[in-house]
C-alpha cells in the first residue's frame, strides 16, 4: 500500500470506528493535558511523557486489529494497555533517554562550533531522526496480533529491519506522522479526539504490509534475534 493509500484507508477506518477510537484517543488526551500543565521539560513532564506510552499502545492495538481486518472494540484498547503496557513503558523510557542524549549533543555540537562540533551535532540529529523512524515502525510491530508471541527484543529487531529495508518509505511515514501531530496540537481538539488514533491507523496500514513482505523473504520464515 502506498502512503497516500494508507492515509485514505485510515480515514475510512476512523470513520467506521470513530465511536471506539475517539474515546480511546481522549484517554491519551487527558494525559497529554497533564503533560502540558506539568511542563515537558520538567521531571514530572518526562514521567508523564513515558506514561503516555500506555494509552498509546492501546490505540495501536486497536489500529493493528483494524489493519488486520479483525474486529476492534474499546475493550481491545484496555486489553492492549494491560498486555503491552510494560513493554511500552520500557520502550518509552529507553527512547526518552536516547532522545535527551541526542538532543543535548546537538546543542553541545552547535555550541562547540568548528568541524568537530558540527559533526557531533549532525550525528546527534540523525540519531533523533533514526529513533523517531524506529518508534513509528515499532508500535505497529509490537501490537500486531500476528506477532503476539514474540519477545520485545525480536519485535525491536523486526522494526529495525523494516527501517533498514525501507528507509525512504519509513522516513516519509515519520514525516507525515510528525506533521499531522504538530498541526493537530495547534488545533488542540484534534489531538485530543482524533489525530493520535488516526496516525496509529496510518502506521499500522503502512508498516504491517512491509513487515509481511520482509518476513516472507527471511530464510524459512525465521525471525532473527
Q: Does 218 fall in a domain?
A: no
Answer yes or no: are the C-beta atoms of 67 and 197 closer than 8 Å.
Answer: no
Q: Does 223 fall in a domain?
A: no
Q: Does 64 fall in a domain?
A: yes
pLDDT interval class at 193 (50, 70, 90): very high
CA distance 16 to 149: 29
**Is the confidence at residue 112, as pLDDT, over 90?**
no
Q: Does 224 fall in a domain?
A: no
Over residues 24-45, mean pLDDT: 95
How many structural domains are present in the chain?
Answer: 1
pLDDT interval class at 219 (50, 70, 90): confident
**Is the confidence at residue 222, as pLDDT, over 70?**
no
Tell me what pLDDT residue 122 has: 93
Over residues 3-11, mean pLDDT: 97
Per residue in 75-108, pLDDT tens? 999 999 999 999 999 999 999 999 999 999 999 9
Q: Of 98, 85, 92, whose CA–CA distance to 47 is shortest? A: 92
**Is the confidence at residue 221, as pLDDT, over 60?**
no
Return the axis-axis angle of helices 74-112 and 43-51, rounded to nearest 10°: 140
Q: Does 198 fall in a domain?
A: yes
pLDDT interval class at 223 (50, 70, 90): low
pTM of the model: 0.94
Q: Does 36 fall in a domain?
A: yes
Residues 6+ apart with CB under 8 A from 108: 117, 120, 121, 124
CA atoms within 13 A on the CB side of 148: 8
Per residue in 147-174, pLDDT tens? 998 999 999 999 999 999 999 999 999 9
CA distance 47 to 120: 28
Q: Pick the more confident residue, 16 or 114.
A: 16
Tell me what pLDDT residue 217 has: 86
Percent of the chain with pLDDT over 70: 97
Q: Does 225 fall in a domain?
A: no
CA atoms within 13 A on the CB side of 140: 31
**Is the confidence at residue 110, as pLDDT, over 90?**
no
Give the 3-state DSSP-derived string for the chain, with helices as H, strands as E and coil as C.
CCHHHHHHHHHHHHHHHHHHHHHHHHHHHHHHHHHHHHCCCCHHHHHHHHHCHHHHHHHHHHHHHHHCCCCCCHHHHHHHHHHHHHHHHHHHHHHHHHHHHHHHHHHHHHHHCHHHHHHHHHHHHHHHHHHHHHHHHHHHHHHCHHHCCCCHHHHHHHHHHHHHHCHHHHHHHHHHHHHHHHHHHHHCHHHHHCHHHHHHHHHHHHHHHHHHHHHHHCHHHCCCC
Q: Could you tell me the CA-to-CA distances from 81 to 63, 70, 87, 114 in Å, in that order?
A: 13, 18, 10, 47
Q: Does 81 fall in a domain?
A: yes
Residue 20 belongs to domain spanning: 3-213
Amino acid at each position: 500500500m502506498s502512503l497516500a493509500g494508507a492515509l485514505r484507508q485510515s480515514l475510512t477506518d476512523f470513520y467506521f470506528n470513530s465511536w471506539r477510537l475517539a474515546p480511546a484517543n481522549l484517554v491519551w488526551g487527558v494525559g497529554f493535558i497533564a503533560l502540558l500543565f506539568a511542563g515537558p521539560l520538567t521531571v514530572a513532564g518526562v514521567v508523564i511523557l513515558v506514561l503516555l506510552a500506555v494509552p498509546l499502545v492501546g490505540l495501536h492495538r486497536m489500529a493493528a486489529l483494524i489493519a488486520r481486518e479483525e474486529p476492534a472494540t474499546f475493550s481491545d484498547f484496555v486489553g492492549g494497555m494491560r498486555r503491552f503496557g510494560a513493554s511500552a513503558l520500557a520502550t518509552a523510557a529507553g527512547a526518552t533517554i536516547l532522545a535527551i542524549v541526542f538532543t543535548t549533543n546537538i546543542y553541545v555540537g552547535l555550541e562547540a562550533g568548528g568541524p568537530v562540533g558540527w559533526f557531533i551535532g549532525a550525528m546527534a540529529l540523525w540519531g533523533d531522526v533514526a529513533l523517531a523512524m524506529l518508534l513509528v515502525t515499532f508500535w505497529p510491530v509490537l501490537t500486531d496480533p500476528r506477532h503476539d508471541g514474540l519477545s520485545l527484543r525480536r519485535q525491536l529487531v523486526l522494526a529495525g529491519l523494516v527501517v533498514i529495508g525501507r528507509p525512504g518509505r519509513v522516513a516519509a511515514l515519520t514525516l507525515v506522522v510528525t506533521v499531522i501531530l504538530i498541526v493537530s496540537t495547534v488545533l488542540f481538539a484534534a489531538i485530543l479526539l482524533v489525530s493520535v488514533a488516526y496516525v496509529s491507523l496510518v502506521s499500522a496500514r503502512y508498516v504491517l504490509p512491509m513487515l509481511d513482505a520482509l518476513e516472507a523473504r527471511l530464510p524459512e520464515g525465521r525471525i532473527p534475534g
